[in-house]
Each structure stands twice: as structure tokens, then as C-alpha cells.
């Protein structure tokens, strides 16, 4: 059996303003009705797989759990990284957990934010790689390159070991353009896609030999775990002591048992807006249009509208992305500078790098519609059967107006129902909670008023999601 290990811990900035620190690209619907994480799981199809292991950060845990629930993957294990430590420690946590659950399974390690347009070819490649991994080899997958690319690392193949399988001669860092062209002409190099197949024991043995500090830190972290709802928490102090190393640097570049299997399946890491434009459907003018967009004499553009009409006239090779709180306009050959832009936003004390205007919570979501001096207006959605924490605010009062569904509201020791077109008031300092007892989403308008309206003015007393 194969145990998928999905690495979902990134917080990418290159797809800003859609991707944010608290809602990065692996949790976004970029190329269809499913998120990148969901597509990663779905493309496994009929492969003989155990329930997946998801490794993600603490701040993304509820996003991951909800998206797994949508797929019917409630039995998946979600391991929480207390701090980011790169891929070698993350995979070590999953390998040690897998050894306890099913010591004989193969780990199929996949990033959560890649696109595969030919999933059947992908699955066939995985099937062909199983025999090599069963021999105790650490298998990586080399993406057959379609062009000289300076944004990817490369794998050089060594001696042939079987069908589409070679030993690994070397790993190389991202090359310059001339070097990338030589790689392609030689037909000896493939892109490094960051996907792997191996026995958990094989990986852990090599990690102990080649990066013992990482192995020991992760072993200590897994000795004291705690189950919390859908999540597995590891020992934070132990995990923090690990070096932050990629699996390539810690193991694959040094091991003598690495194999590479070639992969041709329409792969893309969707690492920038121009790479997303390349894989998206386009109209006759070469434009990828998403949302409410109108164009006249626009060509080879990526234009995405999230909340309003976006119009473009007489432009070429632009990326235009509109969200509720930010608009990006960039030339396609300049999108790599978005990282610098996001860092400038962060260093100036702004918040647009953290989250979009609509913020998701385990119980639903809220959208900050309007904010002014001493007041803020939100649209709150509570999913059926869910409930906010029992909480209190020191600096603000709240007015709640129900516009759809029925709310069960608790204020101090009293609970009561509020129906559509009815409202209630929560004074400063009063404990309160909001619950949806119905079968349809609860929608309400919240008007906050007070001297301080920040999200950190919340004192939680009870919470079914473990946030107290």
C-alpha cells in the first residue's frame, strides 16, 4: 500500500494578492472547482492508498481539515508543524507516524500546490516506480523539461536501472539561462519536481546517517504527541531544535541509493502569475479571463476579478488580479518582483500580506465590509451545526442582525433564538457565543462599536475547536 504524504506547509507570496500568509495557494481554487490540496489528493485516483498524511502549519490547520472533509477524507492524519523547518523534518514526522501505523507502506511525498494536467500518466508513473522503491531505493521524479528554465533545480541522470529509471548522478541548483540551455540540449537533465517515493524506514535510516541532528530532533518531537480534534501535535521544543533543511540538501544529494524516474504528465508548480497564465484556458486573443471581466483589444493577459467588474483596453502581456482589498497590475515579465512588493507591505506595518478581506474560521467565515473610526461592519457566515467560541471583548460592543437562517445566541447565562430580520445586542464585557442550529448557513450582519476593534480583543472561555 501507498501512504500519500502531502506537504502543505508553505505560505507563498508569489501569487499575491490572491495567495496570502494565512490562506496560501495550496488552499486556493486556482484551476478549477477544487483547491490545489484537494486536486493533489484526487489525482491519486484508484492507486492503492492508505488515508493520507497531511503536514501543515498551525495557522492553516482548519483550512486543511475543512478541505479534507469536503473530499470525505475525515480519516486523514493532519500533523501540525509548530514552526517551519523545511521538507526534511516535515517528511521525518510523517515517516515516523507511518512506521507506527503501517510500517510496510511506501510513502508518496507530494507538494500540495502543484498542477498535473494528465493524472492518468502521473498514476502510471507512480505504479512503475513502486518496484524501484520496494528495493529500498529513495525514488525522486524528474520532470521531463519542455524548455530551458532558470526557476527550477535540475536532476542529472546516471546509470540506467530499468524502464524510465536511472540512478541519480547529481542535483544542481537553479541555473542561469545559458546553463539551462546546455542542460536541455544534453538530454541528461530533468526538472526537480520535489516528489518522492520510498519506504519510511529507508528514508529514516538515511536521514539518521546523513543528518542525525534532524533525525534526533524529529524522533524526540514524535515521542510526545497530543491528539487535538483532527490534528496531531508534536513536541514544539524538540521540533524547534531541528535544522531547517530540505530533503534534497539533507539526504538526496548525499545518499548513494537515490533513483530518478522520468515523469511526463503536464506538470507545473504554478509558481507565478505568468506560469498560471500558461496553463489556463485562453480565448482567441490569448487572454485568460476569470470573473467579471470585459476587454477591448487586450492580448496575452491574465485578468482575474474577484468582487467587481474589471475592464481592460489596449493592453498586452499584463497580469491584473482584483480582490476585495487589493489590486495587482504587473507586466508578465516582472511578476517575480511580487515577493519584493509583499515584503515592502509587511515591513511597512500593513496587513494585506496576511489575509484577504474575507477570513475563514473553523465555524465559517467573516467579511469586513466597512471600517471607520470606532466602528466596523462584518458579514458573518456560520455553517450548519457550528458554533463560535464563548468569548468576551474588553473594548467593543456588538449588534447582530440575522438576515438568513436562525441563530442560537448565548449572552452570559441566557440562550435564545434569533430569526431572520431580528437582532440582538451584546454589551462590552459580556460573555457570548453564536451557534447555527439549522440546516442552512446562518448569515448575519455584525456592527461593532468601541475604542478598539482588533481581533486580539477576544477572551475565550470555551471553544470546541481547541483555541482557548
CATH of the domain at 424: 2.60.120.10
Do 53 and 188 belong together in one domain?
A: yes
pLDDT at 104: 80
Same domain for 254 and 309? no
Cα end-to-end distance, the chain, whole Å: 38
Tell me the mean pLDDT in the region 385-405.
97
Same domain, 137 and 263: yes
259 and 280 in one domain?
no
Same domain, 111 and 230: yes
For residue 403, being part of any structural domain is answered with yes
In the chain, the largest separation of any two C-alpha atoms, in whole Å, equals 75
> Does residue 323 form part of some domain?
yes
Q: Are residues 101 and 230 in the same domain?
A: yes
Q: Which of 318, 344, 370 marks a domain boundary?
A: 344
> Cell match 510523517: residue?
94
Mean pLDDT in residue range 433-455: 96
Domain count along the chain: 3
- Which of residues 344, 378, 395 is at a domain's end? 344
Same domain assignment for residues 239 and 303: no
Mean pLDDT score, 203-221: 97
Residue 173 backbone zone (phi > 0: left; psi -120 to 50: alpha; other: beta): beta
Q: For residue 33, what are the contacts with CB-CB under 8 A and spacing of at least 6? A: none
Q: Is residue 467 part of a domain?
A: no
- Structural domain of residue 389, as residue ranges? 358-462
Tell me whether residue 28 is in a domain.
yes
pLDDT band at 189 (very low <50, low <70, confident <90, very high): very high
Note whether residue 83 is domain-resident. yes
Do residues 82 and 98 both lie within one domain?
yes
Give pLDDT tens digits for 75-87: 899 999 999 999 9
Asked if the structure places residue 350 within a domain, the reply is no
What pLDDT does 12 receive?
A: 75
Q: How far apart are CA 112 and CA 136, in angstroms?
A: 25
Mean pLDDT of 11-30: 92
Alpha carbon distance 180, 174 (integer Å)? 8
**How confident is the prediction for the chain on average, in pLDDT?**
95
Residues 106 and 230 in one domain: yes
Determine, yes or no, domain membership for 353: no
| CB-count burial class (<10 Å; 0-12, 13-18, 19+) for 48 | exposed
Same domain, 249 and 333: no
Within-domain flag for 321: yes
* pLDDT of 10 above 90: no
d(Cα 451, Cα 350) in Å, to the nearest integer?
20
How far apart (Å, rounded) are the C-alpha atoms in residues 388 and 433?
6
Q: Which of 249, 268, 287 is the last residue of a domain?
A: 268
Q: How far apart are the C-alpha atoms of 178 and 455, rounded to whole Å? A: 51
Same domain membership, residue 294 and residue 166:
no
- Residue 111 and residue 225 in one domain: yes
Which set of grid coordinates corresponds to residue 434? Answer: 453564536
Residue-wise burial string across 165-183, b where 16 or more C-beta atoms lie within 10 A, e elsewhere: bbebeebbeebeeebbeeb
Strand boundaries in 126-188, DSSP class E: 138-143, 154-162, 165-172
Amino acid at each position: 500500500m501507498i501512504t500519500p504524504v502531502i506537504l502543505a506547509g508553505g505560505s507563498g507570496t508569489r501569487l499575491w494578492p490572491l495567495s496570502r500568509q494565512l490562506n496560501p495557494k495550496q488552499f486556493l481554487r486556482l484551476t478549477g472547482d477544487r483547491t490545489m490540496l484537494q486536486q493533489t489528493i484526487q489525482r491519486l485516483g484508484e492507486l492503492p492508498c492508505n488515508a493520507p498524511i497531511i503536514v501543515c502549519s498551525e495557522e492553516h490547520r482548519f483550512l486543511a481539515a475543512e478541505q479534507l472533509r469536503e473530499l470525505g477524507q475525515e480519516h486523514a492524519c493532519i500533523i501540525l508543524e509548530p514552526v517551519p523547518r523545511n521538507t526534511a523534518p516535515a517528511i521525518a514526522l510523517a515517516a515516523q507516524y507511518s512506521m507506527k501505523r503501517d510500517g510496510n507502506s511506501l510513502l508518496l511525498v507530494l507538494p500540495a500546490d502543484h498542477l498535473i494536467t494528465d493524472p492518468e500518466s502521473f498514476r502510471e508513473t507512480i505504479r512503475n516506480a513502486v518496484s524501484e522503491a520496494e528495493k529500498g531505493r529513495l525514488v525522486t521524479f524528474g520532470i521531463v523539461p519542455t524548455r530551458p528554465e532558470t526557476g527550477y533545480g535540475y536532476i542529472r541522470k546516471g546509470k540506467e536501472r530499468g524502464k524510465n529509471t536511472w540512478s541519480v548522478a547529481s542535483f544542481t541548483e537553479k541555473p542561469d539561462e545559458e546553463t539551462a540551455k546546455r542542460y536541455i540540449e544534453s538530454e541528461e537533465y530533468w526538472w526537480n519536481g520535489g516528489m518522492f517515493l520510498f519506504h519510511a524506514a529507508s528514508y529514516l535510516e538515511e536521514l539518521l546517517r546523513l543528518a542525525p541532528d534532524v533525525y534526533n530532533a524529529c524522533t524526540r518531537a514524535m515521542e510526545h504527541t497530543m491528539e487535538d480534534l483532527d490534528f496531531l501535535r508534536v513536541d514544539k521544543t524538540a521540533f524547534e531544535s531541528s535544522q531547517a533543511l530540505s530533503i534534497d540538501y539533507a539526504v538526496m544529494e548525499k545518499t548513494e541509493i537515490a533513483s530518478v524516474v522520468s515523469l511526463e504528465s503536464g506538470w507545473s508548480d504554478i509558481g507565478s502569475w505568468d506560469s498560471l497564465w500558461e496553463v489556463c484556458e485562453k480565448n482567441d486573443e490569448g487572454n485568460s479571463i476569470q470573473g467579471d471581466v470585459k476587454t477591448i483589444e487586450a492580448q496575452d493577459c491574465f485578468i482575474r476579478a474577484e468582487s467587481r467588474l474589471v475592464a481592460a483596453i489596449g493592453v498586452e502581456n499584463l497580469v491584473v488580479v482584483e480582490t476585495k482589498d487589493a489590486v495587482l497590475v504587473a507586466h508578465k515579465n516582472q511578476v517575480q518582483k511580487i515577493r519584493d512588493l509583499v515584503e515592502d507591505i509587511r515591513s511597512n506595518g500593513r496587513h494585506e500580506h496576511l489575509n484577504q478581506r474575507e477570513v475563514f474560521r473553523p465555524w465559517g467565515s467573516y467579511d469586513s465590509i466597512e471600517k471607520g473610526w470606532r466602528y466596523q461592519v462584518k458579514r458573518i457566515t456560520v455553517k450548519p451545526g457550528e458554533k463560535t467560541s464563548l468569548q468576551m471583548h474588553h473594548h467593543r460592543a456588538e449588534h447582530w442582525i440575522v438576515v438568513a437562517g436562525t441563530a442560537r445566541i448565548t449572552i452570559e447565562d441566557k440562550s435564545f433564538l434569533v430569526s431572520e430580520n431580528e437582532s440582538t445586542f451584546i454589551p462590552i464585557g459580556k460573555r457570548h457565543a453564536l451557534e447555527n442550529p439549522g440546516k442552512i448557513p446562518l448569515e448575519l450582519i455584525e456592527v461593532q462599536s468601541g475604542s478598539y476593534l482588533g481581533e486580539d480583543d477576544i477572551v475565550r472561555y470555551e471553544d470546541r475547536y481547541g483555541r482557548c
